[in-house]
């Protein structure tokens, strides 16, 4: 019986000891109270918790958190009511301030972001609200971060998830967007037609220039060919004239040479006076073959001609 009691006591002590051991996981902080007041912040590792003296007041995660708040009704400067929902990215940087700073941190952030959003949107018109998301996000982030700093919360960024104007405003915006798209389409179509006409005109211009250049080059080539042909014809005529002149010169030279040779042979044969007169008569025949209209016949030749005539008549008798 006594052994059983001792065993129960030992088991109870072991259980109490096991319960006193606390392990803080990574990226977490435990806020510890001792006798009802703040005692310490336990970071990652093994810690001993004294029963009935120490108490874990809060287990805080240091990871970045994302919370999506429900849409808030806001009014723009030009009195347009719309619904905007936000997404807040925040991180706890001080566990003690987070546990003791505010009762409901998320509710406080949601309400504060709603009032801040209403103030910012109230200074903007509808068009500016729809086109100024980055500016609105930056302003809300700065204001929330400054306000939540005393709660140990760091607001990293705030994003406007959806901006929902009234149905009639959406219809008007869709019509406006459609008209804008049609206008841009017409502008693009006109610009395309303009560029097409410009390209066609430029192509025609280039074509005319090329045709003119081709015509010019053709005329130049024709002129060059005609020039070369004229040069060749002139060279041919000149060559012909040179050859003819050479032929005539050679013929004259041959005639003169033959005449000289005949005179030499005649001189070597010691001709009589009658032979010389006969030769003169032959020369006179050649002179008579020319184009002269008047011929003066020497007296010697006249007598010789008469002698020849007489001889001819005697021979006929």
315 pLDDT tier (thresholds 50, 70, 90): very low
| Torsion sign (Cα): 280, 282, 286, 288 | positive
Longest dimension (CA), the chain: 214
pLDDT of residue 173: 75
Q: Collapsing DSSP states into helix, strand and coil, what is residue 282?
A: helix
Q: Give the span between the Cα atoms of 101 and 263, in whole angstroms.
A: 159
pLDDT of residue 274: 59
Q: Collapsing DSSP states into helix, strand and coil, what is residue 233?
A: helix
Q: b or e along 106-145 (b: 16 or more beta carbons within 10 Å of the residue's beta carbon)? A: eebbbebbbebbeebbeebebeebeebeeebbebbbebbb
Domain boundaries, the chain: 2-61, 65-165, 168-265, 271-288+296-309
* Close Cβ partners of 123 (under 8 Å, ≥ 6 residues apart): 77
* Close Cβ partners of 23 (under 8 Å, ≥ 6 residues apart): 45, 46, 47
- 205 sits in which H/E element: helix 167-268
277 pLDDT tier (thresholds 50, 70, 90): low
95 pLDDT tier (thresholds 50, 70, 90): very high
305 pLDDT tier (thresholds 50, 70, 90): very low
Q: Give the span between the Cα atoms of 156 and 87, in whole angstroms.
A: 11
Q: Could you report the per-residue pLDDT of 120-150, keeping only the tens digit for each?
A: 988 888 888 888 889 999 999 999 999 999 9
Among the four given CATH numbers 3.40.50.970, 3.30.479.30, 3.90.550.10, 3.40.50.300, the one describing domain 65-165 = 3.30.479.30
Q: Which of 25-34, 128-137, 168-177 has the lowest mean pLDDT?
A: 168-177
**85 strand-pairing partners:** 162
| Torsion sign (Cα): 245, 248, 254, 257 | negative
Q: Which among 287, 278, 286 has a CA at the least distance from the CA of 305?
A: 278
Q: Give the span between the Cα atoms of 88 and 145, in whole angstroms.
A: 11
Q: Could you report the per-residue pLDDT of 179-209, keeping only the tens digit for each?
A: 888 888 889 889 888 888 888 888 888 888 9
Q: How many CB atoms lie within 10 A of CB 149?
A: 15
270 pLDDT tier (thresholds 50, 70, 90): low
């Amino acid at each position: 019986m006594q052994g059983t009691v001792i065993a129960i006591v030992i088991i109870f002590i072991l259980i109490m000891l096991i319960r006193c051991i606390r392990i803080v996981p990574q990226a977490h902080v435990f806020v510890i109270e001792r006798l009802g007041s703040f005692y310490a912040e336990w970071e990652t590792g093994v810690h001993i918790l004294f029963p009935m003296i120490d108490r874990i007041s809060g287990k805080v995660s240091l990871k970045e958190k994302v919370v999506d708040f429900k849409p808030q009704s806001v009014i723009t400067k030009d009195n347009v009511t719309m619904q905007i929902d936000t997404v807040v990215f925040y991180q706890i940087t001080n566990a003690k301030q987070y546990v003791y700073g505010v009762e409901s941190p998320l509710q406080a952030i949601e309400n504060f972001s709603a009032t801040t959003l209403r103030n910012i949107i109230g200074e903007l018109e509808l068009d500016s609200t729809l086109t100024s998301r980055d500016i609105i996000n930056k302003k809300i982030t700065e204001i929330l971060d400054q306000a939540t700093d005393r709660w140990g919360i760091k607001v990293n960024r705030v994003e406007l998830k959806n901006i929902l104007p009234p149905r009639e405003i959406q219809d008007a915006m869709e019509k406006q967007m459609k008209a804008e798209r049609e206008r841009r389409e017409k502008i693009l179509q006109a610009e395309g037609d303009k560029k097409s006409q410009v390209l066609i005109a430029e192509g025609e211009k280039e074509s005319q220039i090329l045709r003119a250049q081709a015509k010019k080059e053709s005329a130049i080539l024709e002129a060059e060919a005609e020039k070369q042909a004229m040069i060749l014809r002139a060279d041919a005529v000149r060559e012909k004239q040179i050859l003819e002149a050479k032929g005539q010169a050679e013929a004259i030279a041959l005639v003169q040479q033959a005449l000289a040779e005949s005179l030499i042979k005649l001189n070597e044969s010691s001709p009589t006076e009658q032979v010389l007169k006969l030769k003169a008569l032959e020369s006179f025949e050649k002179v008579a073959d020319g184009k002269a209209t008047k011929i003066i016949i020497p007296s010697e030749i006249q007598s010789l001609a008469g002698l020849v005539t007489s001889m001819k008549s005697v021979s006929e008798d």
